[in-house]
Structure formats: structure tokens, C-alpha cells
Amino acid sequence: MRSDIVKVGHNRAPHRSLLRATGLKDEDFSKPFIGVANSFIEIIPGHFFLNKVADIIKDEIRANGCVPFEFNTIGVDDGIAMGHDGMLFSLPSREIIANSVETVMEAHKLDAMIAIPNCDKIVPGMIMGALRVNVPTLFVSGGPMAKGYSKDGTPIDLATVFEGVGKFEAGEITAEELTDMECNACPSGGSCSGMFTANSMNTLMEAMGIALTGNGTILALTKEREELYRKSARRVCQIALMAQEESSKFNIRNILNENAIKNAFAVDMAMGGSSNTVLHMLAIAKEAGVDFNLEDINSISKRVSHIAKISPSLTTVHMQDIDRAGGVSAVMHEMNKRGDILIDNLTITGETLKERIANSEIKDIDIIHTIDNPYSEVGGLAILYGNLAEQGAVIKTAGIIGDRVFRGTAVCFNSQDEAIKGIVNGKVKAGDVVVIRYEGPKGGPGMQEMLAPTSLIMGMGLGDKVALITDGRFSGATRGASIGHVSPEAAEGGVIGLLEDGDEIFIDVDNYILRVEISDEEIAKRRDRFKPIIKPLKSRWLRQYRALVTNASSGAILEAE
């Protein structure tokens, strides 16, 4: 066993002595050591109960002949961090999480790992860390939140509240109606109930084969979810107790390979996942040693139909509805009718993906459409290119309100805060393209999510009348013609930093175009006099992050060389 490094032989007597101090007995030293990577934190609705989840999992691990060692990572709630400088720390937290998983697993030479993430950057951070360690690893998330209901019975969620702020600003709803949304949109623990970033990533873990069936859709805090925790713990023990040659087949890099990455993007397209998945899957691909680039995404989008529309794209449908309609396996089974996924890939259960989804069927075609009746013939995400995004930009096509071709006039803001003030004060009109820059990985730093300005735009009735482009990113709850991840970003001299109020911007989603209608000569003139804005930073961590981070087209990974 890998853990023999710290527990076998007379020269490991000091190590065993320390382990005995934690409660280990003689009989435990012959058992596999299982890392239980928990992201319990009390301020995040999807995580405040994960300490109890870990207890369930550890009990199951002990009952199945292994020794659990729980350790924790940090977490940031993007919704609570939204709209102020706390969001600067959200994306950087992904790197801390990855580093912490790698650190604990390598320092103590644990044999296998079960990871308990749920929200925001925590899922990709744990996956990135696990890929570095490369032992058998199974993921089981805390589970999605139930949808809420307003007093009149309308299904609502967190996106409803953010957009409600815009409606209140526009005088369309009362303070009492906004309070009703606030009090009822998030009725229980779990990751926010739509196809936002957390549930997108939890869904994609099923597609990649590193989690069990139901991981993305079975509601948190239910008996069904508890059984998923127990099954996951039993499975990781089964693998850890195998002979070394057999168990190594389930090392995470053998499962999360090139085909798994492609399957993740294909399912993402079919279900209209968060645009943040592009950022995270690019980073995961690099950790997995898979040569997958931003431009590869459009080739997948062109062949995969969008068959499941979920909030925020369709505000009445939430994760519990997808679960009732057959779950992620039903989506993949339907996709396979046209060969849109790679079904021979191994999963953590020992089945191929083909075997896993063989008996899955759509149970409600109004929730999960058939391949013959898609919402769109192309996938729910697209990568745009042009002189304004030479290295690419990302749009969640599933969330577009209005036309897929847009020509408008730039209204430029040098921060999210400036943009929010400008939108509230009426600076943005129908026909405008809102430009929010210096919010990229380096410029922010930390690539803030733009849910506040996009929600204001939607709430003020401008969702189908304006577009927004940014070198920052969006919450999974964002909808509208919102284009993010513009690369190169303003802080590194990208053309987005050269834009001026009044410039004409052209967007053609179906032809993957994002450009400003000015000449190359004019761009060169502006570049000659361009000086990027460098925001002063008090945070030592953010200064370190800014010095090492790459732009969004590379997944905003850290590079020391």
C-alpha cells in the first residue's frame, strides 16, 4: 500500500506512535488509509452540513475495513462574495483548495481519497488537487438545494433575487415583493438549485465518471442523498482493498482522461451549463495532462444539441426536476443515440459509461427533450473570436435573451463597481454594449463574477436590448447576451482595454464572431498611447496571485515559470 511509507518497518515506529495518538490500534496499520477531503464551512449553504456528511462517510469506511482521515479545505460562497471586493478572492481560492488537497495527500501518503465538495470553485479545486496526487479518488457532492416558491407559487431561486434587485431599482416591484423573494428563494441547504456553476460541475463529474450516478441531481439533505454518500464510501473501500495492480486501474488520471474531458464538455453543451465550466475544465485538462484548448469547444458545440434547459435559462426548471426526469444518465443516454458521447470510458464504479447509462431513459420529455426535439441544434456554450478576443471569449448561448446577432455602441467601465453605478443611473440604453474591463484574472485580480450588473440589466428590462462583454466572468445564474473571459484581458494589453465609448461592436454568436469595427491602424494608434490600469492591492495573497496567474484562455491557472 502507498501508506506503507509512513507505517511499515521499525524505522516508522515514531510515525506509528503519532498515529496511535489519533486513536489507531494495532489492527489498523494493515488497513488502507483513506483521505476524506471535506469542504465543510458554516457560511456556505451547500456546505454547512458537510461535517455530518463526513461522519456518515467515515462510519461507512470503518465498517468496510479501511481507516478514514478527514481533512478540510477552505471555501468561498460566490453569492455572498458577489458585488464587493470579496469576489476578488473567489477564483484564487480554487488554487488554495487544489494545493491543500495535494499537500495533505502527499505529505501523509494516503492510499485513496473520497472528496466532498459542492459549490463554486471548490469542485474544480478538489479535482485539480486529486489529479496531482493520482490515487483512486471518488467524488460525492453535498447535493443541490430544493427550489423555492414565492407567495403566489412561482418557482424561484437565487437568480430571481439578484434580478429582483434590478426590478426594484426600475420600480417594477415593491420592497415587500423583493423581501418575499429574499426569504423564499433559498429554502434549504445545498448548492443553488439551478444549473449554476456548482451544479454544472457536480453534473459534469458524472459525465467524467469520477462520481456515482445521481451526484449532480439528487437533492441535499434527503435519504436518497445519504444512500449516495454510503455507496460512495463503500466503493472507495472496495477499490482500496484490491491488490495494488487492480486498484491502480482506478487512479483518477486513468478515468479523468481525454475522453472524459470531451464527455464533460459534451454534457455541458447538452445541458446549458455555466460559462465558468469552460474556465475550470481547461484548468482540469491541464492538470490531467490532456491537450485540450479553447478552440476545441466549438467543434463539440456544433455537433451536440441542447436538450435540457434549466434555470437560469428556463426559470421554472431546477435540478430536482432533472432528477425526476431521469437525471444526467438519461441526458447521456439520449445523447448516445447520435453518438455524441464517448461511451467506452471507464468510470469509478468499474463500469464503462455505456454500461452505466444502458438502462436510463427520459421520464419526462417536457423537462429533458429528445435528440429529435432539442431546444437548439447546437450546444449551450460558444467561444467567440475576433479582433476584440484574439484568444477567445465565452458566451452561454443557452441563456441568450433576444437575437444571436447584435450590433451596438460601446459604453465602457473600468470596473464592476463603475458599471453598477452607471447602469443604476441610466447610463446604459437600448442598443448599447456594456464593456466591463480590468476584471480579468490579472486585472481584477481574481476575475470577478458579473452577476450584479447582468441581473440589473435583466431586472430593468434591458436583457434583450443590450449586450455585455467583460474580461471578467459570470455567475452560472447569469443570463442574457453576456460575453466573458475576453482574452487577452485589458491588464495585459488586450483590445478590450483600447475600446472607447461610441465604438461599434459586432457580435454574431452562430458564426463565433466578436469584433470592434475599427481599423487595424486605429488599434495600433491606440495601443501606442495605452497604459493599463494597475489596481493597488493590500492583500499579499492577491499580489502573489496576480504575478503568477495566466489569462482565461488558459483556464486562469498559476504558472511559476
Same-domain pairing of 296 and 431: no
Residue at which a domain ends, from 304, 333, 362: 304
Measured CA to CA in angstroms, residue 545 lies from 276, 539, 557, 558 at distances of 19, 10, 10, 7
CB burial of residue 21 (10 Å; 0-12, 13-18, 19+)? exposed
- Where residue 476 falls among pLDDT bands split at 50, 70, 90? low
Please report whether residue 15 resides in a domain. yes
Radius of gyration of the chain measured on its C-alpha atoms: 23
For every residue of 13-61, DSSP letters joined together read HHHHHHHHHTT--GGGGGSPEEEEEE---TTSTTTTTHHHHHHHHHHHH
Please report whether residue 333 resides in a domain. no
Number of structural domains the chain divides into: 4
Can you state the percent helix, strand and coil of the chain, rounding each to 5? 45, 15, 40
Please report whether residue 430 resides in a domain. yes
Q: What is the dihedral of CA 547, 468, 418, 165, to 10 degrees?
A: -120
Same-domain pairing of 94 and 176: no
Pairing type for strands 382-386 and 389-395 reads antiparallel
Same-domain pairing of 7 and 69: no
Same-domain pairing of 16 and 125: no
pTM across the whole model: 0.94
Hunting for cell 432528477 — which residue is that? 323
Write the single-letter amino acid at 431: G
- Where residue 477 falls among pLDDT bands split at 50, 70, 90? low
What would the pLDDT profile of 173-206 be if each residue is shown by its tens digit? Answer: 999 999 999 999 999 999 999 999 999 999 999 9
Across the range 276-297, mean pLDDT stands at 94
Write the single-letter amino acid at 277: T
Same-domain pairing of 139 and 7: no
Q: Give every CB contact of residue 136 below 8 A, 6+ residues apart in sequence.
A: 111, 112, 113, 236, 239, 240, 247, 248, 250, 251, 252, 348
d(C-alpha 156, C-alpha 317), whole Å: 10
Same-domain pairing of 299 and 413: no
Same-domain pairing of 298 and 410: no
Measured CA to CA in angstroms, residue 55 lies from 50, 229, 250, 306 at distances of 9, 10, 24, 39
Question: Is the CB of residue 95 less than 8 Å from the CB of residue 132?
Answer: no
Same-domain pairing of 233 and 162: no
Q: DSSP 3-state assignment of 4?
A: helix
Please report whether residue 273 resides in a domain. yes
Q: Tell me which residue of 39, 292, 36, 315 sits closest to 160, measured CA to CA.
A: 315
Same-domain pairing of 64 and 7: no
Same-domain pairing of 140 and 167: no
- Where residue 462 falls among pLDDT bands split at 50, 70, 90? confident
Which region among 291-300, 382-391, 487-496 has the lowest average model confidence (pLDDT)? 291-300
Across the range 156-163, mean pLDDT stands at 91
Pairing type for strands 148-149 and 155-156 reads antiparallel
- Residue 68 maps to which CATH number? 3.40.50.2300
| Residue 376 is among the residues annotated as catalytic for this protein | no
Sign of CA dihedral 366, 368, 373, 375: positive
Hunting for cell 482500496 — which residue is that? 240
CA angle (258, 237, 71) in 5-degree steps: 80
What would the pLDDT profile of 96-115 be if each residue is shown by its tens digit? Answer: 999 999 999 999 999 999 99
What would the pLDDT profile of 8-31 be if each residue is shown by its tens digit? Answer: 999 999 999 999 999 999 999 999
- Residue 434 maps to which CATH number? 3.50.30.80
Q: Give every CB contact of residue 396 below 8 A, 6+ residues apart in sequence.
A: 272, 273, 274, 275, 313, 380, 381, 474, 478, 479, 482
pLDDT at 524: 96
Residue at which a domain ends, from 304, 328, 362: 304
For every residue of 455-472, DSSP letters joined together read HHHHHTT-TTT-EEEESS
Pairing type for strands 513-516 and 482-487 reads unpaired
Pairing type for strands 389-395 and 482-487 reads antiparallel
Percent of the chain with pLDDT over 70: 99
Please report whether residue 315 resides in a domain. no
Grid coordinates representing 202?
457536480
Question: Is the CB of residue 423 less than 8 Å from the CB of residue 463?
Answer: no
Please report whether residue 332 resides in a domain. no
Structural domain including 476 reads 382-554
Hunting for cell 454534457 — which residue is that? 267
Please report whether residue 463 resides in a domain. yes
pLDDT at 345: 95
The active-site residue out of 475, 482, 487, 554 is 475
Residue at which a domain ends, from 286, 304, 322: 304
Question: Is the CB of residue 409 less than 8 Å from the CB of residue 431?
Answer: yes
Q: Tell me which residue of 545, 552, 400, 532 sits closest to 473, measured CA to CA.
A: 552
- Where residue 233 falls among pLDDT bands split at 50, 70, 90? very high
pLDDT at 561: 64
pLDDT at 138: 98
- Where residue 438 falls among pLDDT bands split at 50, 70, 90? very high
Please report whether residue 403 resides in a domain. yes
Same-domain pairing of 83 and 203: yes
Same-domain pairing of 200 and 163: no
| Mean pLDDT score across all residues of the chain | 94
